[in-house]
Structure 1
Amino acid sequence: MNAPTKPRPQKQKPPLPVTIGAAAALVTGGTIAFWALTRQQQLNVMPIGASAIPQDALMVVSVSTDQGKWQQLREFGTPRSQAAFDQNLAQLRDRFLNSRNLDYQRDIQPWIGKEVTMAFLPPQAGVNVPPPGQAAIPPNSQPTVMILPIADALKAKEVLEQSPATKGGKWTERDYKGVKIRENQDSPTQSASIAVLDTTQVLVANNPTAIERAIDTVKGGASLSQTPGFGDALSQIQSEDAIARLYVNIPAAVNTSAANSSRPVPPQTLAQLQQNQGLAATATLANEGIQFKSISWLKPDSQRKFDTSNNAKMMPTRLPGDTLMMASGGNLQRFWQDYTQGVSANPIQFVNPDALEQGLRTTVGLDLEKDLLNWMQGEYSLSLIPAPQGAPANLPASLVFMVQTNDRRAAEEALKKLDGVMANKYAFKVEESKIEGQSVVNWSLPAANVNITRGWLDGDVAFLSLGAPVAGSFLPKPPTTLSENELFRKSTQSQLGANNGHFFVDMDRVLKLQNFPLLQIPAANRSMLEGIRSIGVTAAITSDRTSRYDVFVTLQKGNQPGALP
């Protein structure tokens, strides 16, 4: 007979509030851990001294202190371009170091960290009115702060105390919010303010106000590291081996540009541009050149959003493999709208929109928006294609414009109207012909040696060429395409996948082009360009608030460099 079994006591369930509390603690703890992890990742990609750089800095540049990387960069180019680059490096050295009696090898290299950051601040009210006893600052001086990380604090103290840069001249000391500042005001153009932060960083500024702003930032002011979207943006273009990094504060830069512009900027244009937050880029050395990755992003509360369609994929397959230069995009109408919205605040204008619209009305009687852009809502490209063998020497190449139309009937109406204007108003000979079995329309003016050909590709892509007779190189299809060109593929390599357009230039061949008036490059610029083999850009919209650009510059291999001049 079995002994009676005692009833097992039931496990008591914890009260519901305790269960909810435990779950909440778990979720909260996980959230905090996730926030801390992502925050740490963002801090790791920040430039050196980001917490000391005021948030309204116009531009921030960080450069590697690894001499091996700079030696590798100097090995690229032709003898002339190498000499020009070395001269530029020497000028930077003289401007920031030698002018202050500093020697990099002697005074900085023994203790410096892996990266130096320079922040360019906006002009501040009162910056040109120094405190009593301090020298006046030149009116056009750009307030600048340099942050130098200290890798060896003892070595830094030892070296700087013995340096002629700190022994010579008239140095004074003052205290600002608990931070000791040393200043040398011997010359208004070469003044220096220096402070050490917690034995980890040295601040060097070119005027007292700039260094005070950096200290204010460290003490709790709004810093670059707190800029909305900055950490997320940097994490998308992060490179462990970057030789340089760049950040541009677009709203601040726009304000400065507008204030210094000779043309008034409409308030609505400024408001549109103020919705941008920033632009950042990294530069990394590769075996054959330099890889740039850049990103621009909008403010988190901006009304403007990007169209996330990346539709530019076919133009490189429509152009011949020997194309010298090309620029493409996904929607010409939208591109023009975006360009015109920001052009008035841009100091560099490739095309004046008002002048172009007025010129079209005056010369050919067409309205840019109604007669042309309305049917240009597809892919487009503008390219430079070399002349075929046997072409006249005075026509070495042709400009070729292609655009995919969303309304062929409207396109035909506009183009036929253009045919009539060219024939009746400008006495062009307008006639139809065939190239490789494809119907085209030729406009010619023999007396002026002007040749223009227009036609269609694949039924919905209009093209127009100006210059040498190159239509046969892409009608009906090119025998080898630009997308198959090894240099193009190497220059536009990118991890972006679907993209919104390319830019490509075969610099080697472009510089050798003769008798082409649109590419008359000044001799002073040629020496630097000769060191470049090609430039490739790939653009993509990665979200409704971010856009990416990958750039690869293929460089010539040069001679082993010597000492800087």
Structure 2
Amino acid sequence: MKLRLFFSALIAGVLVLLLLGAGGFYWLISNSPLNLLKGGATSNPTAAIFVPKQAPVMVSLLVNPERLEAFSQVVAPVTQRLRSRAELNQIKESLLAGTDLEYYRDIHPWLGDEITWALTTPDIDRNRENGVQPGYLLAVTTNDAERSRQFLELFWQKQTVAGANLVFEQYKGVKLIYSNQPVLVSGTKSLTNLTTAVVGDRFVLFGNHPKVLRDAINNVQVGNLNNSRQYQQALEKLTDQKIGLTFVNLPAVKAGLGNNDSTIENSKPFGSLAIALGINRQGLIADTSLISANQENLTATSPALSQPVTALQYLPSSSFLGIAGNDLNQFWNQISATLKTDNTLSQLLNQSIVSLQKSWEISLPQDIFSWVQGEYALGMLPRSDRSEPDWIFVAEKSHVADEAIAHLDTVAKQQGFNVGLLPLDNQSIIGWTKLITVPVSNGKTQKVMKLEAQVEGVHTNVGKYEIFASSVEAIDQALKASDNSLLNSEKFKQAIAPLPQPNDGYVYLQWQNIEPILERQLPILKVVDLIGKPFLSHVRSLSLSSYGSENNVQHSKIFFQLSNIND
């Protein structure tokens, strides 16, 4: 059994558990800029009145982009302010690319303090036989209703000159404007059924179909997102000091993907996910709430740790990934019990675990999780002689640990590895080795081969911990970590400082180091990186912690430490 495969499986298994338990995350784009530290202009999205109760996704920015730019100029070092401003301008230009619109000329004069986008429905006419056309709504507040009306008039005048046949429709006192033929953009692209409206002196609405705006206007009276129990529950739990909010209706998202039975809300454990984005001088904080669909699905738990686990003392400070917590066995049992009522998520978890075990004959839940009932820490660190990193896994031993560890050695023997003691300074370690032939140059034309013992992994006991590593070099660093450990690292301390205590442990990533490795394992991250490059290029570290559940809500926080602020 290759220990590298063991670590790959273990890290993936732990990440699956932690991410499923903590939820997920998604980044969103007074007079003093520093007031943003207290949150946006409004604590909650006012445009939620236009969003239907069952909308799959709503994303809101609760601050004018100019205030974000001013804040970035205040906190950025003087040498980086020009770069920061250029990057923000690049984002604005890219969002308006191909529209013949200029941000400062056409939008800036009237743009207010809230921008809300929503996927209102997976299919506008709910008839999949004629294809699927999602409904999109963009609601923007205006601080100058007259200027925003002039903006729309100028936009539609340009479309008329280009040959568009406009339709002006009065609907419940609101004038809708759209074209009954594709609206040309930059002479090449087209937006079929683009519809606009100004509602009162407060909102400018955009939709990709007249029905989207008609429904939005109807929602003001009844059935909007503010009437959702889970949405209101999320707002109560999330911080008021937020500049953005994302709300995801999980059953509606699954229904939109074709899983029709997910529309039965009470049969699923998770009803919604809410993410509030806040800001501090070091970066961005995402406060998340994963809300159960009914009271029976999520067991109330209290966070177990009042400080980082001491197992982290064996992860070197050079580790660019660190995961630490307490009682993997209990965590696995909680996640398994929670997912029993959701076949889709349960199958996803089981398939992930099974796929990790195909290369070797052990069961993660039985052979690893079951005996890790105390502290654990899992780390990844760079190698100077190869691109693949080393792994270290530290686990506090339980009363059944010795038998379980002996079983791992037995499995290694069954797979053709030699298992025996190896000397390392004053410490004896158990190595999993295999003899291989290696060509050696002797200065002549004929090849000379020699036998070499290739170490696939090692483990040893230190006090109450068992330490596994993917190489002799890695376990040597673990045994010598001492004061130069991740636990005592200033970078790690800064990364976890904004996260609450007590909690259930940490996931810590030095983003720039681990990003290439994650992209090799998960190709979808290349797409995420392409879309979010202006932001991700500045992420120095990412840290995540879960801190228990109450009243049917699972809480967690994610902190993005940005390098351009402090470096």
TM-score range, shorter chain: 0.7 to 0.9
Is the 2:377–2:394 Cα contact (8 Å) retained in structure 1?
yes
Report the counterpart of residue 552 of structure 2 in structure 1.
545
Q: Give the corresponding residue for 1:39.
A: none
Trace 1:116-195 onto structure 2 (pairs within 5 A).
Answer: 116-124=115-123, 126-127=125-126, 139-163=131-155, 164=157, 168=161, 169-187=164-182, 189-195=191-197
Q: Structure 1 residues 523, 78: CA separation in 2 closer, same or farther (over 3 Å shift)?
A: farther
Which residue number corresponds to residue 399 of structure 2? 408
SS at match of 1:49: helix
How far has the Cα of 1:166 moved from its partner?
6.9
- 1:294: which partner in 2? 288
The alpha carbon displacement at 1:145 in A equals 0.7
Matched, 1:442 2:431: yes
SS in 2 for 1:469: helix
For 1:465, which of 469, 472, 496 is the aligned residue? 469
Matched, 1:456 2:461: yes
Q: 1:73 deviation in Å?
A: 5.7
Count of residue pairs brought into register by the alignment: 484
Partner SS state of residue 199, structure 1: coil
Q: Could you say what secondary structure the match of 1:174 adopts?
A: strand
Matched, 1:380 2:369: no
Pairwise CA distance, 1:452: 0.7
Write out aligned runs for 1:475-554 (5 A): 475=479, 478-510=482-514, 525=529, 530-554=537-561
Instruction: Find the partner of 2:322 among 326, 331, 336.
Output: 326
Of 267-276 and 442-451, more deviation after overlay is shown by 267-276
* Separation (CA, whole Å) in 2 of partners of 1:372 and 1:511: 27
- Say which is worse superposed, 144-153 or 334-343, in terms of deviation: 334-343
SS where residue 400 of structure 1 aligns?
strand
What is the alpha-carbon distance in structure 1 between the residues aligned to residue 350 and residue 199 of structure 2? 45
8 Å contact from structure 1 (residues 331, 378) kept in 2: yes
> Partner of 1:132 in structure 2?
none
C-alpha displacement at 1:116, in angstroms? Answer: 0.7
TM-fit CA distance, 1:547:
2.6
AA matched with 2:488: E
| Offset at residue 283 of structure 1 (A) | 2.9
CA contact (8 A) 2:193 2:209 kept: yes
For residues 512 and 495 of structure 1, what CA distance do their matches in structure 2 show?
Answer: 26
SS of residue in 2 equivalent to 1:399:
strand
Structure 2 stretches lacking a partner, 5+ long: 1-40, 183-189, 437-452
- SS state at 1:479 partner: helix
> Is the partner of 2:229 in helix, strand or coil?
coil
What code does the residue aligned with 1:413 have?
A: E
Equivalence for 1:316? 312
SS at match of 2:473: coil
Distance 1:369 1:397, change over 3 A: closer
Deviation at 1:108, TM superposition (A): 2.7
User: Deviation at 1:523?
Assistant: 11
Correspondence 1:353 to 2:347:
no
How far off is 1:539 after superposition?
2.2
Task: State the 1:395 CA deviation.
Answer: 7.6
Q: How many angstroms apart in 2 are the aligned matches of 1:104 and 1:78?
A: 20
In structure 2, the CA distance between the partners of 1:141 and 1:189, relative to structure 1 (3 Å rule), is farther
> Percent of counterpart pairs with the same letter?
20
In the TM superposition, residue 557 of structure 1 has moved relative to its aligned partner by 2.5
1:234-277: CA deviation from partner (whole Å, max 9, x where unpaired): 354335462x32111122223334639xxxxxx89997882323
User: What is the TM-score when the length of structure 2 is the normalising length?
Assistant: 0.72
List aligned pairs for 1:176-215, cutoff 5 A: 176-187=171-182, 189-215=191-217
- In structure 1, the gaps of 5 or more residues are 1-42, 130-136, 261-266, 559-565
| Counterpart position of 2:33 | none
1:306 offset after TM fit, Å?
4.0
Residue type of the alignment partner of 2:315: L
Greater C-alpha radius of gyration: 1
1:114 correspondence with 2:113: yes
Counterpart in the other structure of 1:561: none
CA–CA distance in structure 2, aligned partners of residues 79 and 444 of structure 1: 55
What is the match of residue 103 of structure 2?
A: 104
Deviation at 1:144, TM superposition (A): 0.6
Residues 337-366 of structure 1, C-alpha deviation per residue, up to 9 Å, x if partnerless?
A: 566636944999897223235x27xx33x3
The answer on whether the counterparts of 2:314 and 2:394 sit within 8 Å (CA) in structure 1 is no
Determine the structure 1 residue equivalent to 2:96: 93
* Contact 2:122 2:256 (C-alpha < 8 Å) held by counterparts: no
1:283 counterpart letter in structure 2: L
What is the CA distance between 1:217 and its match in structure 2?
A: 1.0
Structure 1 522/57 Cα, relative in aligned 2: closer, same or farther at 3 Å? closer
1:87/1:336 CA distance change after superposition, 3 Å: farther
Encode CA deviations 1:26-57: one digit per residue, 9 max, x unaligned.
xxxxxxxxxxxxxxxxx953213111110111
Give me the CA root mean square deviation. Answer: 4.2
What displacement does 1:499 show? 0.9
Q: Could you report, residue by residue, the CA deviation over 1:301-348 in whole angstroms, capped at 9, with x for unpaired residues?
A: 443324324348314344232222112333323444566636944999
Q: Distance in 2 between matches of 1:320 and 1:286?
A: 28
Using structure 1 for the length normalisation, give the TM-score: 0.72
Q: 1:72 to 1:141 in 2, by over 3 A?
A: farther
The one-letter amino acid of 2:552's match is R
Per-residue CA deviation, residues 456-482 of structure 1 (Å, 9 max, x unaligned), is: 3442x3332113522233338623331
Shift, 1:420, TM fit:
2.3
Residue pair 2:175, 2:197 contacting (<8 A) in 1 also: yes
Whether the 8 Å contact between 2:141 and 2:203 is mirrored in structure 1 is: yes
Aligned to 1:53: 51
Asked if the contact 2:273–2:288 (Cα under 8 Å) also holds between the matched residues in 1, the reply is: yes
SS of 2:198's equivalent? strand
Query: In structure 2, what is the Cα distance between the partners aligned to 1:522 and 1:195?
Result: 37
8 Å Cα contact 2:176-2:210 kept in structure 1: no
Q: C-alpha displacement at 1:192, in angstroms? A: 1.3
Return the offset for 1:512.
9.5
- Return closer, same or farther for 1:234/1:268 CA change in 2, 3 Å cut-off: closer
Q: Post-superposition shift, 1:59? A: 1.0
2: CA distance between counterparts of 1:350 and 1:83? 46
The 1-side partners of 2:241 and 2:158 are apart by: 33
2:66 maps to what in 1? 67
- Matched residue type, 2:137: V
1:227 aligns with 2:228: yes
- Structure 2 vs 1, CA of residues 245 and 439 (structure 1 numbering), >3 Å: closer, same or farther? same
